[in-house]
Chain A
């Protein structure tokens, strides 16, 4: 059994395994497939129904379940949704598992997953990632 609480190390090893089989290109192919299969019925659907409010609903659910340390702001007047991830629960877990080596570009998967979904719906996606400190900022703007 892989418990949902053990998924992050399994995910990271998955990226490493896929890269060893087909290179970085294959990892990106997987991220694209995951984005389509998982986010179409969740984030994309919520954004389709409620615009930036859908972002808030989606991440309020997932980041609370992931016990993340974050600040999330929805500014409808400004047309902006921001996540300040003070400590990403996934990357933090990988950094804490000292006996394991995380996938070298682990943090890249977030942009690869979310950016295409958001931009397909006509929004602008920006991110600034500090991988070594497990923190990042994501801004989604109405265009």
Chain B
């Protein structure tokens, strides 16, 4: 079998399982705060370009990121936006859904993959992240990125 990278689309859903095992290991070995610290470290490193654009008040960069990432994941989501906000509503989380479909269980505090990551992305920017609700069983949630008043 011979394949070029352009022959296939990049979407390996089982990575959700490995990510869950990684977070479970950090949680059980070093505790809940360590899991948050890890997710902060990842966000600061990986989302640096997005954070820098948001620091300039660019809500379009955030909106583009959200649309793109759900599209790559091929996951149904409702995204509404305006000059000062981006709201995301989903009936289930793609990670939790795949982990459960394969017979697994999300690690404790899995919700931090939303809460910590998006709070960290907003750090030092004119935006705040509001986690309206989150269902730990399914990952159904509503999230709001809102421009802080006067910013």
Question: Which residues of A are at the interface with B, using a C-beta cutoff of 8 A?
Answer: 1-11, 13-14, 16-18, 21-22, 26, 30, 33-34, 37-38, 56, 60, 62-73, 87, 89, 92, 97, 99-101
A67 touches B5 (CB 8 A): yes
Tell me if A's interface is mostly helix, strand, loop or mixed: helix
B8 touches A11 (CB 8 A): no
B21 touches A10 (CB 8 A): no
Tell me, in angstroms, the Cα distance from A65 to B72 when the chains sit together. 13
Q: Given A1, A9, A37, which contacts B69 in the complex, CB threshold below 8 Å?
A: A1
Interface range on chain B: under 10, 10 to 19, 20 to 34, or 35 or more? 35 or more
Q: Given A17, A92, A97, which contacts B41 in the complex, CB threshold below 8 Å?
A: A17
CB-based nearest A residue for B102: A41
B25 touches A89 (CB 8 A): no
Tell me, in angstroms, the Cα distance from A63 to B1 when the chains sit together. 11
A4 touches B38 (CB 8 A): no
Tell me, rounded to whole Å, the shortest Cβ–Cβ distance linking B102 to chain A.
9
Tell me, in angstroms, the Cα distance from A9 to B44 when the chains sit together. 11
Q: Does B140 contact A (CB under 8 A)?
A: no
B94 touches A38 (CB 8 A): no
Tell me, in angstroms, the Cα distance from A5 to B8 when the chains sit together. 13
Tell me if B's interface is mostly helix, strand, loop or mixed: helix
Q: Given B10, B14, B22, B48, which contacts A5 in the complex, CB threshold below 8 Å?
A: B10
B26 touches A17 (CB 8 A): yes
Question: Which residues of B are at the interface with A, using a C-beta cutoff of 8 A?
Answer: 1-19, 21-22, 25-26, 29-30, 34, 37-38, 41-42, 45-46, 48-49, 69, 72-73, 93-95, 98, 113-114, 117
Tell me, in angstroms, the Cα distance from A31 to B14 when the chains sit together. 16
Tell me, rounded to whole Å, the shortest Cβ–Cβ distance linking B80 to chain A.
17
Tell me, rounded to whole Å, the shortest Cβ–Cβ distance linking B129 to chain A.
12
Q: Given B3, B46, B48, B69, which contacts A64 in the complex, CB threshold below 8 Å?
A: B3
B12 touches A38 (CB 8 A): no
Q: Given B6, B19, B37, B95, which contacts A17 in the complex, CB threshold below 8 Å?
A: B37
Tell me, in angstroms, the Cα distance from A14 to B6 when the chains sit together. 28
A1 touches B114 (CB 8 A): yes
Tell me, rounded to whole Å, the shortest Cβ–Cβ distance linking A63 to chain B.
7
B114 touches A14 (CB 8 A): no
A13 touching B94 in the complex, CB below 8 Å, given contacts A1-B69, A4-B12, A60-B1 = no
